[in-house]
């Protein structure tokens, strides 16, 4: 039976998990016994390697190749490629021609379409056609809450999320000549900008090197003067004593080091809660940098609880009754980083930096420390996490929420169901 829609990924999935109607029969009429499906090969060469099958009384050990049509063997040039000489079985959806290897030996053919259960194909087709928030939305509600399959999978996905970004992080570190403190400083700054001002904050750290802050930042005030000045947020039109002192100090440093600042319009103040204004965040950033130096080394050497406490920073006194320069607020309160803000900053700076450093140093303890921080933090609260919760999958900590974000963006959105543990669970 030929189905309406088919791709090689589905055929690999069916073979890998032996989701077939038995007994299996080759195109030459012999019975096929699967002893070992082989290991899926993600490099060049045959699709599965080191497989073991039995036909009649003969055991075969070697590689397997999968195609939609058997004629694809010739279309892809495998008949001229000695890398395919050890293919013991050609698995095809449609057998339209006999195939031979480079030594002119005919290869056994298994037409898998005759042995695919209809219900598995129907489930797969429904996933492919689904326009729901996730392809398996109708199925997932039937999973028991906090199913062990889900919990284990979310742990894997949270790790996968950071592994996927390793090459980018390592390239950035290499561009900084393996200066881990400077790299972390930039990553930290970007996370302090959150989604709205992340690029602006990152640019601020790039034009204000950490070495300059170390040289001239003997106090929180000195750090703030440099950062506000470089951010373009202080100028001669301001009247309050605090920003005027900041400006005078910055002008001295700007002349001394020939600094060029950003423009104020590069910062976004719209659609942000006042406590998240860049003016407030820069002060909190300066207080954090002053609290621990070298900060990345301090994080590597600190315990998880101490790292979280380190980020419980406030802004300077002036901001207790201000959100912007020269504009006094009606109420007075200390602008402290909320647990949600701390969680976001740690997820986007400390965890990836530790994970990357652990990978670079081949130190599993440091990588585990990154994961321990995720487990110690509360789950994120955003549209994706709330929607998963509505579908019965609740995040208990930041590791869960990072796993669910990875699942949604890298699997569900692109309908990568055949590589998803939940997809496998439902398809079979």
Residue 106, domain extent: 8-116
Residue-wise pLDDT for 18-77, tens only, equals 999 999 999 999 999 999 999 999 999 999 999 999 998 999 999 999 999 999 999 999
Residues 111 and 228 in one domain: no
Which residues have a Cβ under 8 Å from the Cβ of 252 and sit 6 or more positions away?
A: none
Residues 81 and 194 in one domain: no
Return the pLDDT at 231: 98
Distance of CA 146 to the CA centre of its chain: 22
| pLDDT, average across residues 391-401 | 95
Average pLDDT of the chain, as a whole number: 94
Residue-wise pLDDT for 241-292, tens only, equals 999 999 999 999 999 999 999 999 999 999 899 999 999 999 999 999 999 9
For residue 333, CA distances in Å to 47, 158, 285, 321 come to 63, 36, 18, 7
Distance of CA 230 to the CA centre of its chain: 31
Is 397 domain-assigned? no
Q: Provide the CB-side half-sphere exposure for 362 (13 A, CA).
A: 0
Q: Say if strands 48-55 and 87-94 run parallel, antiparallel, or are unpaired.
A: unpaired
Is 89 domain-assigned? yes
Is 70 domain-assigned? yes
In total, how many domains does the chain have? 2
- Whole-angstrom distance, CA of residue 315 vs CA of residue 276: 11
Residues 92 and 183 in one domain: no
Return the pLDDT at 147: 72
Per the model's pLDDT, the better-predicted residue between 140 and 233 turns out to be 233
Q: Which of 376, 392, 422 is the last residue of a domain?
A: 376
Is 391 domain-assigned? no
* pLDDT over threshold 60, residue 111: yes
Nearest to 158 by CA among 359, 382, 372, 344: 372
Reduced 3-state DSSP string for 146-174: CCHHHHHHHHHHHHHHHHHCHHHHHHHHH
Return the pLDDT at 1: 55
Q: Which residue has the tokens 């082989």?
A: 38
Nearest to 97 by CA among 85, 109, 87: 109
- Whole-angstrom distance, CA of residue 373 vs CA of residue 316: 27
* DSSP of 2-52: --S---HHHHHHHHHTT--PSSEE-TTS-EEEEEE--EEP-SSS-SEEEEE
Is 415 domain-assigned? no
Residues 203 and 318 in one domain: yes
Q: Provide the CB-side half-sphere exposure for 370 (13 A, CA).
A: 25
**Confidence (pTM):** 0.88
Paired tokens of 118: 């209809």
Q: Which of 330, 355, 376 is the last residue of a domain?
A: 376
Is 258 domain-assigned? yes
Residues 193 and 77 in one domain: no
Q: Which of 77, 101, 116 is the last residue of a domain?
A: 116
Residues 91 and 195 in one domain: no
Residues 234 and 315 in one domain: yes
Which residues have a Cβ under 8 Å from the Cβ of 382 and sit 6 or more positions away?
A: none
Residues 101 and 224 in one domain: no
Return the pLDDT at 3: 61
Which residues are 60's β-sheet partners? 53
| pLDDT, average across residues 73-82 | 94
| pLDDT, average across residues 205-214 | 97
Residues 338 and 221 in one domain: yes
Is 83 domain-assigned? yes
- 66, with CB counted inside 10 A (0-12, 13-18, 19+), is buried
Residues 192 and 106 in one domain: no
Is 155 domain-assigned? no
Residues 83 and 219 in one domain: no
Residues 210 and 305 in one domain: yes
Return the pLDDT at 145: 55
């Amino acid at each position: 039976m030929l189905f309406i829609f088919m791709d090689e990924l589905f055929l690999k999935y069916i073979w890998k998990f032996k989701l077939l109607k038995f007994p299996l029969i080759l195109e030459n009429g012999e019975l096929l016994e699967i002893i070992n499906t082989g290991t899926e090969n993600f490099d060049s060469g045959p699709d599965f390697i080191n497989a073991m099958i039995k036909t009649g009384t003969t055991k075969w050990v070697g590689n397997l190749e999968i195609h939609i049509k058997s004629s694809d063997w010739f279309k892809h040039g495998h008949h001229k490629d000695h890398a395919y000489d050890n293919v013991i079985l050609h698995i095809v959806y449609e057998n339209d021609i006999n195939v031979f290897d480079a030594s002119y030996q005919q290869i056994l053919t298994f037409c898998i379409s005759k042995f695919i259960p209809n219900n598995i194909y129907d489930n797969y087709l429904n996933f492919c056609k689904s326009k729901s928030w996730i392809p398996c939305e109708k199925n997932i509600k039937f999973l028991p809450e906090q199913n062990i399959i889900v919990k284990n999978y979310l742990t894997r996905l949270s790790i996968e999320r950071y592994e996927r970004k390793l090459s980018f992080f390592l390239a950035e570190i290499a561009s900084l000549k393996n200066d881990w403190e400077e790299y972390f400083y930039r990553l930290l700054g970007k996370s302090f900008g959150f989604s709205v001002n992340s690029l602006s904050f990152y640019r601020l750290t790039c034009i204000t090197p950490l070495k300059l802050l170390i040289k001239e930042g003997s106090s929180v005030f000195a750090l703030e003067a440099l950062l506000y000045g470089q951010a373009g947020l202080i100028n001669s039109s301001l009247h309050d004593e605090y920003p005027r002192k900041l400006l005078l100090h910055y002008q001295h440093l700007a002349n001394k080091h020939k600094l060029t600042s950003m423009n104020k319009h590069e910062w976004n103040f719209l659609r942000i809660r006042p406590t998240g204004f860049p003016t407030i965040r820069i002060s909190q950033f300066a207080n954090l940098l002053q609290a621990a130096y070298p900060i990345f080394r301090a994080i590597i050497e600190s315990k998880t609880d101490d790292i979280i406490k380190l980020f419980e920073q406030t802004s300077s006194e002036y901001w207790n009754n201000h959100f912007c320069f020269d504009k006094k607020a009606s109420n007075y309160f200390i602008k402290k980083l909320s647990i949600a803000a701390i969680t976001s900053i740690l997820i986007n700076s400390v965890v990836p930096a530790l994970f990357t450093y652990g990978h670079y140093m081949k130190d599993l303890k440091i990588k585990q420390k990154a994961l321990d921080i995720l487990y110690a933090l509360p789950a994120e609260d955003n549209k994706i996490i709330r929607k998963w919760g509505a579908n019965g999958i609740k995040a208990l900590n930041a590791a869960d929420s990072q796993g669910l974000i990875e699942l949604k963006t890298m699997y569900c959105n692109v309908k990568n169901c055949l590589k998803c543990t939940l997809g496998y669970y439902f398809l079979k």
